[in-house]
Copies of this chain bind each other. A is one copy, B any other.
Amino acid sequence: MSCQNPVFIPGPTNIPDRLRRAMNVQTTDHRAPDFVELLIPMLDDLKKVFKTKSGSVITFPASGTGGWEAAITNTLSPGDKVLVARYGMFSHRWIDLCQRHNLDVDIIDCDWGEGAPADLYADRLAADKNHEIKAVLVTHNETATGVVSDIAAVRGAMDAVQHPALLYVDCVSSLASMDFRMDEWGVDLAVSGSQKGFMLITGMAIVGVSEKAMKACETATCPRCFFDFRDMIKANSNGGYPYTPPLQIIHGMRESLHMLFEEGLDNVFLRHTRIAEGVRRAVGAWNMHLCARAPELYSDTVSAIYVPDGFDSDVLTNHAFDNYGVSFGVGLGQMAGKAFRIGHLGSLTDVMSLSGIATIEMAMKDLNYPIELGSGVSAAQEYYRHSTDMSKQHAA
């Protein structure tokens, strides 16, 4: 029966029925006129979620990792210098991807739990008088640590020295859940996916591309074909894909955008903040600590929580799965065994959140964690019941 329980991994998310229905469509011809009528408005509407007017949105049948690769290979050339901070497993993996594509990666290593260090970015950029740095990479929401970073600050660091590098942002686990402002923040390449804030199945990489980034395609020499921006843009402009499109996910995305706009993006963000804050209140009640080191770094889509010394977080997540049939995120990389994660993004209610908090409490108690049963739940309850106004209207 545990299939009825929500998951609390930080994506893929619990898929709302409305989107499961939307994706459950029979094959139609992707070269027929009705496909055009489906695709073009979907791409236009995606721009509203990225908050870009001048940029383009490009989708690929791939996961978010494919989006990273697309962003990099379409706009850079082997040997290009890339500046990037590493403060979690996902920023680490993006670095690895860059290195495999023969980029020269200048890494700013930070403690996990910190966000993007705008000041350190500023230092390196200021020192780069010859503008050898072609790309500045930032992970907006580090899924491994539950840290959200200030993209505007990084853009500020770039602008302060009038640095011409392109700004690349991984917003896989933030877009459509937390505010993202591509144009305002001057993001050139924004990489996301279908299975997080959009509440769909895995299978669509989504990349926001600024005009400046699009121009960079003309000179970039990293080899690419499947992920070629210009092929895709050209095919899209004719109402198609350069190869077989992921029809069912496109239908799902069409409906996901309807859902997001019906609720209103601002309400979506407030809902995420509210659900997340309830989880954070529970963590506080347990006297446990988030990896994220300061409130302004708290992610509204995922919380990474340190277990007390002497406990193994992998034992905890396994126990919760084996005994209660509920999945939480494990600690990744250097946090393996030391922290677990509660994903709280996408289609999630306070009621579902409470079931996750109650479950992990039971698991912790079973394993003799020094917590009181019900303490986290009641802290979250107290918060949720005083903050219902903003989201309660949006039953779907």
Contact = CB atoms under 8 A, between A and B. Distances in A.
A266 to B, nearest CB: 16
Interface residues of A, number: 104
A330 B382 contact: no
A316 to B, nearest CB: 13
A338 to B, nearest CB: 17
Given A20-B26, A392-B325, A62 B226 contact: yes
Oligomer copy total: 4
Interface in A341-396: 347-352, 354-355, 358-359, 361-362, 365-366, 372-375, 377-378, 381-382, 384-385, 388, 391-392, 394-396
Interface stretch (A51-59, A207-215, A245-253, A290-298): A245-253
Nearest to A391: B1
B31 A9 contact: yes
- The interface centre, meaning the residue of A26, A31, A351, A362 with most chain B CB atoms within 10 A of its CB, is A351
A127 interface: no
Contact of A377 (B21, B26, B378): B378
Interface stretch (A97-105, A130-138, A148-156): A97-105
A45 interface: no
Given A3-B396, A26-B14, A361-B381, A63 B321 contact: no
User: What are the 9 A-B residue pairs with the smallest beta carbon separation, nearest first?
Assistant: A374-B378, A29-B327, A355-B355, A374-B374, A354-B358, A2-B395, A373-B378, A65-B243, A21-B21
